[in-house]
Amino acid sequence: MFVLPNWGFRNTVHAYHSDDSVKLPLKPLSPGSTTATSSVSLNQFVETRIPDIKDGAKHVLKPYLFTGTLQTLYTFKADFHQTYPVYFAREIITITEDDVESSRTTFEHLHPGEFTLDYVVAPPVEELDDEVFKARSAETIPEGYPKLRPRCRYYTTKELAALKEDWSKDGAPISIILPGLAGGIQEAPIRSTCYKLYKQGHHVLVLNQRGASRSKITTPYLYTGLDTDDIKYIIHKFQQEFSDEVHIKRQFHAIGYSFGGLQLVNYLGKEGKDSKLTSAITISSPWDLNESMSHVDKSISGHYLFQPVIIHMLLKMVKSNREALSARPDLFNDEVYQDLKKRIKSPVEFDNQYTSKLVGFPSGKLYYYAASPLWRIFQIRTPLLVINSTDDPMISTDYPYLEVKKQPWIYMATADLGGHYSFIKNDGDFWFSNVVESWIDSWKELDVFTPHDVDDNGWDIPTRTKIV
């Protein structure tokens, strides 16, 4: 039985939060003072600084994109190339076997291999010429690596050192963006967020999953919803490189889209109050993976439009990285791949064959249970903004309303319309990226750097089951 979508373009936001939200200390009014004069609750902070997501707030979406499916399709098919002209510098992060062994107490599930970071940068003036940029890109790309997206090139060791030196000189906040499944800087919603934060003077980068966004897999391991140590590794690395208690205290924010948001919430739940983030935001992220897989299969657009695209991306990732993955012939071999390619009809079959086995589960369904952030919602101790729509064709819209009302660290804004991280307004801009910009920019008023600076009045809800 297929589920019928919501219709319309006049959008209303519904807010959910605890009546006793955590208290966020404001910065001292006097430059010479060492203590904050007051604090503001999380829900008051949102309602006064970011009215676009307070309960009952309204905005207008593009009238001809009157369903979540149309919103989502337009987002990933329309040409936004000139709308958000951002440039990126790519860095390869290499994790060696020695790195894994020497940091086992901190990163319990870190794996050897590579992933990449795309820093938002101002390119040299001469590289604004497309031909010059292409030539420079060809000079800096490592041998055997795939060609990158437009306006993104590998930076040399010297260039990266200069970039990081510039970042280290100020106290501007750093925002880490986690894309969705096989997503990256090619996606307009991500470029929109990067562009707006960069224009505000913030430092921004995108963390690409292993093998995603034209990254290269060098070890036989694909990313999963349970893998949060790459995120943790970068956050710890940046804390060491760009922040110290004596000279510069810096705020670190993370923004997760869809599957990236799922990983982000799992990171927050695992770390609890040891999280190194100042705040986090998720956009169109699932809470229950089993329900979401069922939802996308039962919606007409999900079944006929989105599932085939997801399957294509997953199979392509395995095919493109077959050389590195072949080091696990028990799991990644051509015979298994060709058989799966012939019979696969849903992403569940991919996760049954590959993902679940990578993380030690006998089936995709059990993996979905373990990787669902809902299990960790009461372990979160980082201020978290959750943005979703109730017409999302890609994930279950059975959101944890009751749980959020008992969780003082979370503010959830759920809109009637908007699709899957789309929310395209009548002027063609993304509504949610303006919200993200306002949220992060407003934190400059707060004397908060890590969860230890936040007062939750000793709140705790013991959980009977610990999910790793």
Percent of the chain residues past pLDDT 90, beyond the cut: 78
Is residue 181 in some structural domain? yes
Find, among 276, 270, 191, 265, the residue nearest to 240 by Cα: 276
Contact 215, 94 (CB under 8 A): no
State the pLDDT at residue 173: 96
Instruction: Over range 127-138, report the average pLDDT.
Output: 92
The CATH number covering residue 168 comes to: 3.40.50.1820
- Is 60 exceeded by the pLDDT of residue 30? no
Contact 367, 379 (CB under 8 A): no
Q: Please tell me whether residues 367 and 382 are part of one structural domain.
A: no
The verdict on 300 and 271 lying in the same domain is: no
- Give the pLDDT of residue 247: 60
What is the number of structural domains in the chain? 2
Chain segment 329-338, per-residue pLDDT in tens: 998 999 989 9
User: DSSP label at 306?
Assistant: I
**DSSP letters along 63-91, please?**
TT--SHHHHHHHHHHS--TTTS--EEEEE
Q: Looking at the domain assignment, is residue 142 inside a domain?
A: yes
Q: Kindly tell me if the per-residue pLDDT of 248 is higher than 80.
A: no
Domain stops at, among 356, 371, 386: 371
Q: Is residue 2 one of the residues assigned to a domain?
A: no
Same domain, 156 and 58: yes
Mean pLDDT, residues 93-118 taken together: 94
Pair (309, 166) in one structural domain: no
pLDDT given at position 1 = 41
Say yes or no to pLDDT of 468 above 60: no
pLDDT value for 280: 98
Which of 118, 391, 392, 456 does the annotation list as catalytic? Answer: 392
- Contact of 325 with 353, CB cutoff 8 Å: no
- Specify whether 258 is catalytic: yes
Domain endpoint, select from 312, 346, 371: 371
Q: Are residues 156 and 207 in the same domain?
A: yes
Q: What is the pLDDT of residues 211-245, one digit of tens each?
A: 889 998 999 998 999 999 999 999 999 999 998 66
Query: Do 80 and 224 sit in the same domain of this protein?
Result: yes
Are 232 and 304 contained in the same domain? no
Is the pLDDT at 466 greater than 60, yes or no? no
114 falls within a domain:
yes
Q: Mean pLDDT of all residues in the chain? A: 91
Residue 32 has pLDDT above 60, yes or no: no
pLDDT digits (tens, 9 = 90+) for 40-53: 999 999 999 999 99
Q: What percent of the chain has pLDDT over 70?
A: 95
**Residue span of the structural domain in which 148 resides:** 14-32+40-288+372-453
Predicted confidence at residue 2, as pLDDT, reads 46
Q: Kindly state whether residues 27 and 80 are assigned to the same domain.
A: yes
Dihedral sign, Cα of residue 28, residue 30, residue 32, residue 37: negative
Q: Are residues 334 and 198 both part of a single domain?
A: no
Residue 365, domain member (yes or no):
yes
- What's the average model confidence in pLDDT over 383-394? 96
**CA 234 to CA 240: how far, in whole Å?**
10
| Stretch 286-292: mean pLDDT | 96
Residue 5 pLDDT > 80: no
> Which has the closest alpha carbon to 163: 253, 93, 89, 234?
89
Edge-to-edge strand ranges of the sheet holding 384-389: 58-60, 10-17, 410-415, 384-389, 279-283, 252-257, 174-178, 203-208, 113-121, 87-95, 152-154
| pLDDT for the residue 211 | 87
Same domain, 216 and 363: no
230 classed as catalytic: no
From 327, 344, 371, the end of a domain falls on 371
Q: What is the bridge-based pairing of β-strands 87-95 and 152-154?
A: parallel
The answer as to whether 346 is a domain residue is yes
pLDDT confidence of 132, banded at 50, 70, 90?
very high
Indicate the Cα dihedral angle 193, 285, 406, 3, nearest 10°: 130
Do 253 and 391 lie in one domain? The reply is yes
Residue 346 is a catalytic residue: no
Average pLDDT rounded to a whole number, residues 421-447: 96
Same domain, 419 and 333: no
Spatial separation of the C-alpha atoms in residues 400 and 16, rounded to whole Å: 10
**The one catalytic residue among 17, 420, 433, 456:** 420
Any domain includes 137: yes
Q: Is residue 461 part of a domain?
A: no
Of 231, 174, 161, 243, the closest CA to residue 205 belongs to 174
Indicate if the pLDDT at residue 465 is higher than 80: no
Residue in 175, 215, 258, 389 annotated catalytic? 258
